[in-house]
Homo-oligomer: A and B are copies of this chain.
Amino acid sequence: MYVTLSNPSHDQPEHDFANCSAIAKIQSQALPKRLLVAGQHLFHEGDEAHHVYEVRSGLLRLTRVLENGSRQVIAFALPGDVVGFPYGDLHHTDCDVLVDGEVIAYARRALESGSSDPVLHKRLLCAALNEITAMQDHFMMLARKSAPEKVASFLMVMAERTGTFNGQHVRFELPMKRSDIADFLGLTIETVCRAITRLRKSGVIALEDAQTVVVLDHYRLADATLSD
Protein backbone atom coordinates (compact mmCIF):
# COMPACT_ATOMS: atom_id res chain seq x y z
CA MET A 1 0.00 0.00 0.00
CA TYR A 2 1.24 3.43 -0.88
CA VAL A 3 0.62 6.68 0.77
CA THR A 4 0.45 9.28 -1.89
CA LEU A 5 -0.79 12.32 -0.07
CA SER A 6 1.36 14.62 1.87
CA ASN A 7 1.05 13.21 5.35
CA PRO A 8 0.80 9.47 5.63
CA SER A 9 -1.36 7.36 7.87
CA HIS A 10 1.31 4.69 7.92
CA ASP A 11 1.56 1.82 10.27
CA GLN A 12 4.95 3.08 11.37
CA PRO A 13 5.58 4.89 14.62
CA GLU A 14 5.59 8.65 14.35
CA HIS A 15 7.85 9.68 17.22
CA ASP A 16 5.65 10.75 20.08
CA PHE A 17 3.43 12.51 17.61
CA ALA A 18 0.22 11.46 19.24
CA ASN A 19 1.45 12.96 22.44
CA CYS A 20 2.44 16.20 20.74
CA SER A 21 -0.93 16.31 19.08
CA ALA A 22 -2.84 16.22 22.34
CA ILE A 23 -0.83 19.06 23.77
CA ALA A 24 -1.20 21.14 20.66
CA LYS A 25 -4.94 20.70 20.78
CA ILE A 26 -5.08 22.18 24.23
CA GLN A 27 -3.06 25.12 23.08
CA SER A 28 -5.04 25.53 19.93
CA GLN A 29 -7.72 27.60 21.56
CA ALA A 30 -5.21 30.39 21.61
CA LEU A 31 -3.79 29.65 18.18
CA PRO A 32 -4.38 31.73 15.09
CA LYS A 33 -6.90 29.65 13.23
CA ARG A 34 -7.69 30.75 9.77
CA LEU A 35 -10.86 30.03 7.85
CA LEU A 36 -10.53 29.11 4.22
CA VAL A 37 -13.08 29.07 1.46
CA ALA A 38 -12.85 27.20 -1.82
CA GLY A 39 -10.95 29.05 -4.51
CA GLN A 40 -8.94 31.08 -2.04
CA HIS A 41 -5.16 30.91 -2.10
CA LEU A 42 -3.27 30.24 1.11
CA PHE A 43 0.03 31.20 -0.50
CA HIS A 44 1.70 31.40 -3.88
CA GLU A 45 4.99 30.10 -5.19
CA GLY A 46 7.60 32.73 -4.46
CA ASP A 47 5.76 34.29 -1.50
CA GLU A 48 7.78 34.83 1.62
CA ALA A 49 7.09 31.91 3.90
CA HIS A 50 6.11 33.42 7.24
CA HIS A 51 4.08 30.45 8.43
CA VAL A 52 3.56 26.76 8.11
CA TYR A 53 -0.02 25.60 8.25
CA GLU A 54 -1.63 22.61 9.82
CA VAL A 55 -4.84 21.59 8.11
CA ARG A 56 -7.72 21.09 10.55
CA SER A 57 -10.51 20.60 8.05
CA GLY A 58 -11.13 21.04 4.36
CA LEU A 59 -8.89 20.14 1.47
CA LEU A 60 -5.96 22.06 0.05
CA ARG A 61 -4.19 21.62 -3.23
CA LEU A 62 -0.44 22.16 -3.66
CA THR A 63 0.68 22.88 -7.19
CA ARG A 64 3.68 24.00 -9.17
CA VAL A 65 3.87 25.29 -12.68
CA LEU A 66 6.61 24.41 -15.17
CA GLU A 67 8.34 26.73 -17.62
CA ASN A 68 6.09 25.51 -20.40
CA GLY A 69 2.97 26.30 -18.40
CA SER A 70 1.94 22.77 -17.56
CA ARG A 71 0.95 22.22 -13.98
CA GLN A 72 1.86 19.52 -11.52
CA VAL A 73 -0.25 18.81 -8.47
CA ILE A 74 2.28 18.03 -5.76
CA ALA A 75 -0.16 16.95 -3.13
CA PHE A 76 -3.63 17.22 -1.71
CA ALA A 77 -3.53 18.22 1.94
CA LEU A 78 -6.11 16.70 4.25
CA PRO A 79 -6.75 17.29 7.95
CA GLY A 80 -3.63 16.46 9.91
CA ASP A 81 -1.29 17.42 7.12
CA VAL A 82 1.15 20.29 7.42
CA VAL A 83 1.85 22.46 4.41
CA GLY A 84 4.04 25.41 3.59
CA PHE A 85 7.49 24.11 4.43
CA PRO A 86 9.77 26.87 3.17
CA TYR A 87 12.60 26.60 0.73
CA GLY A 88 15.00 29.25 1.84
CA ASP A 89 12.64 32.02 2.87
CA LEU A 90 10.11 31.33 0.16
CA HIS A 91 7.20 29.10 -0.57
CA HIS A 92 8.00 26.87 -3.46
CA THR A 93 4.45 25.85 -4.35
CA ASP A 94 1.06 27.41 -4.82
CA CYS A 95 -1.53 26.37 -2.30
CA ASP A 96 -5.23 26.87 -2.84
CA VAL A 97 -8.42 25.66 -1.26
CA LEU A 98 -10.62 23.00 -2.84
CA VAL A 99 -12.94 22.44 0.11
CA ASP A 100 -13.74 25.05 2.75
CA GLY A 101 -11.89 24.44 5.95
CA GLU A 102 -9.67 25.72 8.66
CA VAL A 103 -5.91 25.80 9.19
CA ILE A 104 -3.70 26.74 12.08
CA ALA A 105 -0.85 29.05 11.19
CA TYR A 106 2.41 28.55 13.02
CA ALA A 107 5.19 31.09 12.76
CA ARG A 108 8.05 29.72 10.73
CA ARG A 109 10.37 30.13 13.66
CA ALA A 110 8.37 27.51 15.54
CA LEU A 111 9.71 25.08 12.98
CA GLU A 112 13.21 26.49 12.84
CA SER A 113 13.98 26.77 16.50
CA GLY A 114 12.72 24.77 19.41
CA SER A 115 13.62 27.41 21.95
CA SER A 116 10.17 28.86 22.57
CA ASP A 117 7.99 25.78 22.25
CA PRO A 118 9.93 22.50 22.09
CA VAL A 119 6.83 20.37 21.82
CA LEU A 120 5.43 22.27 18.86
CA HIS A 121 8.86 22.33 17.31
CA LYS A 122 9.17 18.59 17.49
CA ARG A 123 5.70 18.17 16.10
CA LEU A 124 6.43 20.29 13.06
CA LEU A 125 9.72 18.55 12.56
CA CYS A 126 7.95 15.19 12.62
CA ALA A 127 5.61 16.50 10.00
CA ALA A 128 8.50 17.57 7.79
CA LEU A 129 10.24 14.21 8.13
CA ASN A 130 7.02 12.34 7.45
CA GLU A 131 6.56 14.53 4.42
CA ILE A 132 9.88 13.31 3.04
CA THR A 133 8.83 9.71 3.47
CA ALA A 134 5.40 10.31 1.98
CA MET A 135 7.00 11.86 -1.07
CA GLN A 136 9.33 8.93 -1.47
CA ASP A 137 6.29 6.69 -1.46
CA HIS A 138 4.75 8.89 -4.09
CA PHE A 139 7.91 8.49 -6.18
CA MET A 140 7.45 4.78 -6.31
CA MET A 141 3.99 5.33 -7.54
CA LEU A 142 4.86 7.84 -10.23
CA ALA A 143 7.80 5.86 -11.44
CA ARG A 144 6.75 2.26 -11.14
CA LYS A 145 3.00 1.91 -11.33
CA SER A 146 0.73 1.58 -14.33
CA ALA A 147 -2.13 3.99 -14.84
CA PRO A 148 -4.80 1.69 -13.40
CA GLU A 149 -2.58 0.99 -10.40
CA LYS A 150 -2.02 4.67 -9.80
CA VAL A 151 -5.72 5.44 -9.90
CA ALA A 152 -6.57 2.51 -7.64
CA SER A 153 -3.86 3.61 -5.18
CA PHE A 154 -5.22 7.12 -5.18
CA LEU A 155 -8.76 5.93 -4.50
CA MET A 156 -7.48 3.68 -1.71
CA VAL A 157 -5.79 6.56 0.04
CA MET A 158 -8.79 8.82 -0.31
CA ALA A 159 -11.00 6.04 0.99
CA GLU A 160 -8.77 5.44 4.00
CA ARG A 161 -8.29 9.06 4.86
CA THR A 162 -11.69 10.56 4.10
CA GLY A 163 -14.07 7.62 3.76
CA THR A 164 -17.07 6.97 5.96
CA PHE A 165 -18.41 3.51 6.65
CA ASN A 166 -22.19 3.24 6.53
CA GLY A 167 -22.36 -0.34 7.80
CA GLN A 168 -22.16 -1.74 4.31
CA HIS A 169 -19.57 0.12 2.29
CA VAL A 170 -16.99 2.86 2.50
CA ARG A 171 -18.06 6.03 0.72
CA PHE A 172 -15.97 9.10 -0.01
CA GLU A 173 -15.86 12.27 -2.07
CA LEU A 174 -13.42 13.29 -4.78
CA PRO A 175 -13.67 17.05 -4.36
CA MET A 176 -10.98 17.71 -6.94
CA LYS A 177 -11.50 17.67 -10.69
CA ARG A 178 -10.37 14.76 -12.81
CA SER A 179 -7.68 17.04 -14.21
CA ASP A 180 -6.28 17.49 -10.69
CA ILE A 181 -6.12 13.76 -10.18
CA ALA A 182 -4.46 13.39 -13.56
CA ASP A 183 -1.89 16.10 -12.74
CA PHE A 184 -1.22 14.45 -9.40
CA LEU A 185 -0.67 11.00 -10.86
CA GLY A 186 1.18 12.09 -13.99
CA LEU A 187 -1.58 10.92 -16.31
CA THR A 188 -4.09 12.49 -18.66
CA ILE A 189 -7.71 13.16 -17.79
CA GLU A 190 -8.89 10.54 -20.22
CA THR A 191 -6.68 7.85 -18.75
CA VAL A 192 -7.94 8.62 -15.25
CA CYS A 193 -11.53 8.43 -16.48
CA ARG A 194 -10.99 5.14 -18.22
CA ALA A 195 -9.34 3.62 -15.17
CA ILE A 196 -12.24 4.72 -12.97
CA THR A 197 -14.73 3.43 -15.52
CA ARG A 198 -13.01 0.07 -15.60
CA LEU A 199 -13.13 -0.23 -11.81
CA ARG A 200 -16.80 0.71 -11.94
CA LYS A 201 -17.71 -1.72 -14.71
CA SER A 202 -15.89 -4.55 -12.99
CA GLY A 203 -17.89 -3.91 -9.81
CA VAL A 204 -14.99 -2.82 -7.60
CA ILE A 205 -16.45 0.63 -6.99
CA ALA A 206 -19.64 2.49 -7.79
CA LEU A 207 -20.10 6.17 -8.56
CA GLU A 208 -23.12 7.89 -7.08
CA ASP A 209 -22.07 10.90 -9.06
CA ALA A 210 -18.75 11.90 -10.59
CA GLN A 211 -17.37 13.01 -7.22
CA THR A 212 -18.87 10.36 -4.95
CA VAL A 213 -17.29 6.95 -4.81
CA VAL A 214 -18.56 3.84 -3.03
CA VAL A 215 -16.08 1.03 -2.50
CA LEU A 216 -17.93 -2.19 -3.27
CA ASP A 217 -14.99 -4.57 -3.07
CA HIS A 218 -12.26 -3.29 -0.84
CA TYR A 219 -10.13 -6.36 -1.35
CA ARG A 220 -10.12 -6.12 -5.12
CA LEU A 221 -9.44 -2.39 -4.96
CA ALA A 222 -6.39 -3.03 -2.80
CA ASP A 223 -5.39 -5.71 -5.24
CA ALA A 224 -5.64 -3.31 -8.16
CA THR A 225 -3.02 -1.07 -6.54
CA LEU A 226 -0.38 -3.76 -6.84
CA SER A 227 1.78 -4.40 -9.86
CA ASP A 228 1.27 -7.83 -11.35
Residues of A within 8 A of B (CB): 10, 12-15, 64, 66-68, 70, 72, 74, 85-90, 92-93, 111-115, 118, 121-122, 125, 128-133, 135-136, 138-140, 142-144, 183, 185-186, 226-228
Whether the pair B112, A113 counts as a contact (CB closer than 8 A) is no
For A228, list chain B residues within 8 Å (CB). Answer: 68
One complex includes copies of this chain to the number of 2
Provide the bound-state CA to CA distance between A154 and B139, in Å: 16
Task: List 21 interface pairs A-B (beta carbons < 8 Å), by A numbering.
Answer: A12-B88, A13-B89, A13-B90, A14-B88, A15-B89, A66-B144, A66-B227, A70-B144, A72-B143, A74-B139, A87-B129, A87-B132, A92-B133, A111-B125, A114-B121, A128-B128, A138-B139, A142-B143, A143-B185, A143-B186, A144-B186
Which residue of chain B has the shortest Cβ distance to A143 in the bound complex?
A: B186
Given contacts A15-B88, A87-B129, A139-B142, could you give 12 more A-B pairs where the C-beta distance is less than 8 Å? A12-B88, A13-B89, A14-B88, A70-B227, A86-B129, A87-B133, A92-B136, A93-B136, A113-B122, A114-B115, A135-B136, A138-B139
